[in-house]
A and B are shown apart, each in its own frame.
Chain A
Amino acid sequence: MTEVLARRGYHGPATEEAIEALHEEMEALWGDASFVPDVDRMTFATAVIEAAGNIVQHAVPAADKPVEIDVDISVRPDRLVARVSAQNAREPFANDMRAELPDEEAESGRGLALIEALVTTVTFERQDGTNTWILTRESTPAQTD
């Protein structure tokens, strides 16, 4: 098991409030793990917000219960890992999983392509009514003088 140097998370209804709360959790995480280089913070936070935003905008409840979002972000010695889950959600449509950039005039559809450009690996899992995107980005502590 890889050592976890810092960890933050969020759980709640898949609403816009979750997005703002996640921004705050990540700010706190970088406060706890100040050795994470700026470029890695910027890219990884963008990918996590894209994944969470995708759930808030597109996840469809599987039953009567509303979709809930669950996020776990950890800083490891050699990488950043985020598990971004939609609970009580239907399986996403294939259309929502497209990673190509749309044409210039399009006002949506860039999220997944952006995530793929920002992280090292993107993995999707579906288990017991939960869709989980696992994002990792290779990152080693910034060198200090």
Chain B
Amino acid sequence: MQFSYEVKDSYAEVKGVGRLNMVAAPKLREVVAEVVAGGSSRVVVNLAETDFMDSSGLGALIGCLKAARQAGGDLRISGVQPQVKMVLELTNMDRVLTAYPSAEAAFGND
């Protein structure tokens, strides 16, 4: 899985392309830690090109959410695809990880 990020005016967007499984999960944690350490604690993880997530990928997202909140910000997700949506719903984590249609919309009203 490939990650990239871009720091925008009011948030940072992290994009993941591929499968967010146990192989990719530690990489996501590293990328978000780097973004937060760089001063951007409002983070959107854009999952539009993430076609698969397992429970370790979900665990990494939760860890990243906690890291962003500890730094005074938040972490939101966007562009959620059907398999990822299913995993979020079956684990009841759709209530914790709020999904937005696009990265722009995630912090649009704050």
Residues of chain A at the chain B interface (Cβ within 8 Å): 16, 19-20, 23, 42-43, 45-46, 49-50, 53, 56-57, 101, 104-108, 110-111, 113-114, 117-118
Contact = CB atoms under 8 A, between A and B. Distances in A.
Given A42-B82, A105-B66, A53 B55 contact: yes
Contacts of B62: 104-107
Interface of B: 19, 21-23, 52, 54-56, 58-60, 62-63, 66, 82-83, 86-87, 90-93, 95-96
A16 B23 contact: yes
Contacts, number: 67
Contact of A110 (B59, B60, B82, B95): B59
B96 A110 contact: no
Contacts of A101: 91-92
Contact of A114 (B21, B55, B95): B55
A42 B55 contact: no
A118 B55 CA distance: 13
Nearest to B61: A107
A129 B47 CA distance: 40
User: In the complex, which of the residues A56, A107, A117 has the most CB atoms of chain B within 10 Å of its own CB atom?
Assistant: A107
Given A53-B54, A110-B58, A19 B22 contact: yes
B25 to A, nearest CB: 9
A45 B54 CA distance: 10
A133 to B, nearest CB: 15
